Amino acid sequence: MGKSPGIPRLLRRLNDRSALELLLADGPLTRAELGELTGLSKVTAGQLLARLEERGLVEVAGERAGGRGPHAALYAVVPSSAYVAGLEVLPDSLKVGVADITGRIVVEITLNPSDTRDPVRAVHAAVQRACATAGVDIARLHAFVIGTRGVVDPRSGDVRWSYDLPSWHVGVLASLRETLGVPVTIENDVNLVALAEHRYGAATGHDDFAVMWAGIGQGLGVMLGGRLHRGISGGAGEIGWLPVPGEPLPADVSQPQSGSYQRLVGQSALRDLAEAHGVTGVSVADQVRHGGDAFLDEVAGRLAVGAAAVAVVLDPGLIVLSGDIGRAGGARLADKVEKAVARICPSQPRVVTTGVAGNPVLRGALVAALEQAREQVFSDTV
């Protein structure tokens, strides 16, 4: 029986993909270095580079001095071969970032849309503005990921409900895809923060961890075995509703501030706690940043209730504190939470502060968009 004609094509595609990923991670590389890392012969590596250069995906980006012989050409991925966009939607603003295929952010802007009742028009205008600012044709975007508060249905991709963004309803995703003419994904904002922590931050090298978002609202992003855990309905991580001792259970789940854990660690609860300790500041985050040990010990004790609940159910080993409160408290607060969790939880996870610079939701949106774009662009080389 003869060989399938599709096998050489498949192998070339796999080799191309592997080479492009290596050039992104370790590049620029010479032909010999690429051959060594991929296990391909110099001839095959040369053919591969020529093919990728012809497709506009790879270019000569300098040369490396050798011994006595001629200098070897250095190859790198062409940054402008594809672009992606990420967006964070808040009740009163839209933050948009555009990155090239290497992950370099070429522009980041914040807009305050005049009409938040039409999310499709607002997003389209924001993306157009970002692309114009970056000098990138909107047609060159290969993927677009939107981070939003609320629950996203993992089956349909639509926002199932969001208290802050009532206009983000079923049908918005289809309209965005049609209007933008590019693959669009909507994702829960804290899930995107987990992707950012995994790629760039405190959870690099950890495939099992949880991000606890402590801010205006409470959220949880969970990664297990290197994959986000969203839950059947997309509701995994809505930790504000966690029942806690001493706090009343919600009488009406349509009231976002009525969750027991939200009552314990929400902005008004921490503001009252700061006042009781005589801690002043323009915001709760400011109070946490400058508060004394007694105040921070109490904040840590409250956060530890949520962290311990996560640890006894999932045992992720690592919990990353993020959000305004987590960022403001830094390593000092994380250390106190870790000690407080160890007193009430047998699995004793490490608790660390966020390691993501800049806007973590936007960074996560770009991570997700880049994964999609590279899958599309790098798999279509043959």
Q: Which residues of 77-91 are buried (b: 16+ CB within 10 A; e: fewer)?
A: bbbebbbbbbbbbbe
Confidence of residue 1 (pLDDT cuts 50, 70, 90): very low
199 contacts 223 by C-beta, under 8 angstroms: no
Please provide the distance, in angstroms rounded to a whole number, between the alpha carbons at the two ends of the chain.
25
Read off the pLDDT of residues 296-346 as tens digits, 9 standing for 90 and up.
999 999 999 999 999 999 999 999 999 999 999 999 999 999 999 999 999
pLDDT at position 382, please? Answer: 64
**Residue 335, token pair as written in the block:** 């250390």
SS3 state of residue 253: coil
**pLDDT over 70 at 274, yes or no:** yes
- HSE-CB at 318 with a 13 A cutoff on CA atoms is 20
Give how far Cα 13 sits from Cα of 9, 190, 352, Å: 6, 34, 40
Residue 204 above 60 pLDDT? yes
The pLDDT tens digits of the residues spanning 2-47 come to 455 566 888 888 889 999 999 999 989 999 999 999 999 989 999 9
pLDDT at 254: 78
Q: What is the mean pLDDT of residues 239-263?
A: 88
Span 135-145, pLDDT tens digits: 999 999 999 99
Which tens digits make up the pLDDT trace of 43-98? 999 999 999 999 999 999 988 887 666 788 999 999 999 999 999 999 889 999 99
Q: Average pLDDT of 284-305?
A: 97
